[in-house]
Amino acid sequence: MNKEILVAGAILGFLAVILGAFGAHALKNALDAEAIKTFETGVKYQMYHALLLLFVGSSTMLSSGTKSTILYLVVIGVILFSGSIYGLATNALTSFNFKKIGFVTPIGGTLLIISWGILIYKFIRLKV
């Protein structure tokens, strides 16, 4: 399980760097400043959660069940949260209206919050 978590974290981080560069360079002339700022928010949250997965995968203080739960919450949360933000920020460039699926953004955010809540709860319960 640790390997899968570490790989997922590395992939999310890798993609965050690529998307950040894409937003800073390829989109800078195609979108207004507010849309670029929105896109960057998606990148930041994706990177934060990539780092969280790298930490979780490296931790010896969490059970494999807890790690697995956090993995799924984070991956689905990032896809819904950051993914929808990328779509909403670039909405003007596509024929699909991402505003129709904007309701998934808070669902993704809630999953990310739950993953952090589980981590807090498990750390409070540690017997050290």
List the chain domain ranges: 2-124
- Residue 28 predicted with pLDDT over 90: no
Q: What is the pLDDT of residues 69-93, one digit of tens each?
A: 999 999 999 999 999 999 999 998 9
For residue 95, the model assigns a pLDDT of 86
Query: What residues contact residue 18 under an 8 Å CB cut-off, 6+ apart?
Result: none
DSSP summary character for residue 75: H
pTM of the model: 0.94
Q: Is residue 94 pLDDT above 90, yes or no?
A: no
Q: Give residue 38's pLDDT.
A: 94
Tens of pLDDT, residues 36-63: 999 999 999 999 999 999 999 999 999 9
